[in-house]
Amino acid sequence: MTLVAGVDIGSTTAKCALLEAGEVVGKSLAPVGVELVKDAERALEQALAEAGRERREVAVVTGTGYGRFKVKFGQFAVTEIGCHAKGAHYLFPATHLVLDIGGQDTKAIKVDAQGEVVDFAMNDKCAAGTGRFLDVCAAALGYDVSEIGTLSQGARRPVKVTNTCTVFAESEVTSYVARGKDPRDILAGLYAGIVSRSLSLMQRVGVEPEVTFTGGVSKNEGMVRTLEQRLGFKVNVSPLSQYVGAIGAALYGLERTEGTSA
């Protein structure tokens, strides 16, 4: 049995997934700090600790994410686009389209039946419509981002959040709060805006079920529901959704050790 690790150093969080015999046997998640190299090591160690395994048991470590080259102890580096495709395919083999919304970017990735990337599109320049956008707006509402997922339920009159700029949206949210708007309506408005921008990206590669939603933002139920409403069908979300990139990286490493390409 080969134990492989994938380390995903994102813009916001560092994730690690340990795979053995096609199973995720350990994982870790922590915010990234300033020393990415250390963050990467810590991510691996924590995952090993969770799995109760030793560093020397790991056959291959593969890095991914913006900080993939900071996984200094790893053997390989693959872009997170490839890894999200691979990871989503592993979790939901019928995936045709992956929507990954992380801390700082949004990606729509079209994948083939083998989990290979066929096409992808990413948001340009702006932090609008990403996890960071939600973090900031949640804070403006007085919540942590992990609490707002169920909160939009029961929204009646979603407000129109017109600012696509994260920074300005924050003050728009603040002013809605001051005007006594229901936080549920504000959130519903925010979700609608993000989903709309995400759909625009998904259009670029072509929308085709099954759609798998990955990245930290997929943990937000409100976002998932809004997305499903606009798509008109269900999307796949795994409890491991934030680890999809790390899982994909681990799978790449596994392939490499086994010397085959899926």
Partner 1 sequence: MITCGLDLGAGTTKGVLLEDGRTLLTSGLVPTRGNPVEAGRTVLERMVEDINLLPDEVDYLCTTGGARYTYPDRHLQVSDITASGRGAVFLFPNTRHVVDIGNQSSRAMSVTETGRVVRFKMNEKCAAGAGRFVDRCAKYLQVPLDEMAPKALTAAHPKTISSVCAVLAETEIINNVAEEVPLPDILMGVFLSLAQRAYILMRNVGIQPEVSLVGGLVQSEAMVRALEQTAHVTINADRRAQHAAAIGAAMLGYARLQKLGTRPTPLPAAVA
Partner 2 sequence: MAAAKPEPAFLTTARDRQREMVEQYYSDLASAGGPKRPVAYMLVGGNLTEIVRSFGFEVVFPEIVALNCAIKHVSLPNILHAESQGYGLDVCGYVKNDLGLQELGGQTPFGRIPPPDLLVCSFSGCYVYVKWWEALAEKYGCPLFMLDVPYMRDAEPQAEDIQYLVTQLNEFIALLEKITGRSFDLAELRKTLARSRKAEQGWVDYLASGKHRPSPIEAYFEAVFYMFPINVLRGTDVAADFYATVNEEVRARIAEGHYPVPEEKFRLVVEGVPPYPSYRTFWDFFRKWGAVSVAATYPKVGGLFDRGFLHDPARPLESIAEYSLGAYVNQSWPLRRQIIGEYIRDFEADAVLIHGIKSCRSFTAGQGDLRDRLIHDHGIPTLYIESDHEDPRYFAPAQIKNRMDAFFESLDRRRGSVPLPVVNA
Partner 3 sequence: MAASPALESSASLDSPPSLELSDSFEEFRRAASIDAITRLAREVLLDPTYPTVRAWTRAGRGAVGCFPVYTPQELIHSMGLLPVSLHGGGESVEISHADAPLGSFLCSISKSTLELAMTGLMAPFRAFVFPYICDVSRNLEGIFSRAVPNATTHMLHLPQNFQSKASVPFLVAEYRRLIAKLEKAGGEPYRPERLVESIELFNRQRAEIAQLTATQRAEPGKLTLTESYLIRRLGGLLPREVHLELLGRVRKELGARPNRRKDAIRVLLVGSFCEQPTLDLIDLIEQVGCYVVDDELLQLHRWYDRVEPSGDPLENLAATYVRSPVDIGVRAAPTTKAAAIRQRVDAADAQGVIFLTAKFCEPALEDVVLYRKALDERKIPYLHLEFEERSAAYEQSRLQLETFVESILFD
Residues 212-231 that bind ligand ADP (CB under 6 A): 215-217, 219-220
Among 108, 127, 151, 251, binds partner 1 (CB under 8 A): 127
The answer to the question of residue 137 lying near ligand SF4 (CB under 6 A) is no
Among 30, 49, 165, 262, binds ligand SF4 (CB under 6 A): 165
Are 30 and 39 a contacting pair, CB within 8 Å? yes
For 156, phi then psi, to 5°, come to: -110, -50
Contacted by 167, from ligand ADP, ligand SF4, partner 2, none: CB < 5 to 8 Å by type: ligand SF4
Interacting stretch for partner 2, rule CB under 8 A, among 17-25, 111-119, 163-171, 173-181? 111-119
Among 30, 33, 49, 75, binds partner 2 (CB under 8 A): 75
What is the smallest separation between the CB atom of 247 and partner 1, expressed in angstroms?
24
State the DSSP string of 200-240: HHHHHH---S-EEEESGGGG-HHHHHHHHHHHTS--B--TT
| 41-44: long-range contacts, CB 8 A cutoff, minimum separation 24 | 41/73, 42/14, 43/7, 43/9, 43/14, 43/15, 43/16, 44/5, 44/7, 44/16, 44/73
Nearer to ligand SF4, 128 or 190 (CB): 128
* Rounded Cα–Cα distance for residues 202 and 167 (Å): 25
Walk across the sheet containing 106-111 and list its strands: 117-122, 106-111, 97-101, 211-214
Residues that bind partner 3 (CB under 8 A): 121, 124, 160, 162-163, 168, 172, 196-197, 199-201, 203-204, 206-207, 209, 230-233
Residues that bind partner 2 (CB under 8 A): 62-63, 66, 68-69, 71-72, 74-82, 116-122, 124-125, 204, 252-253, 255-256, 259-261
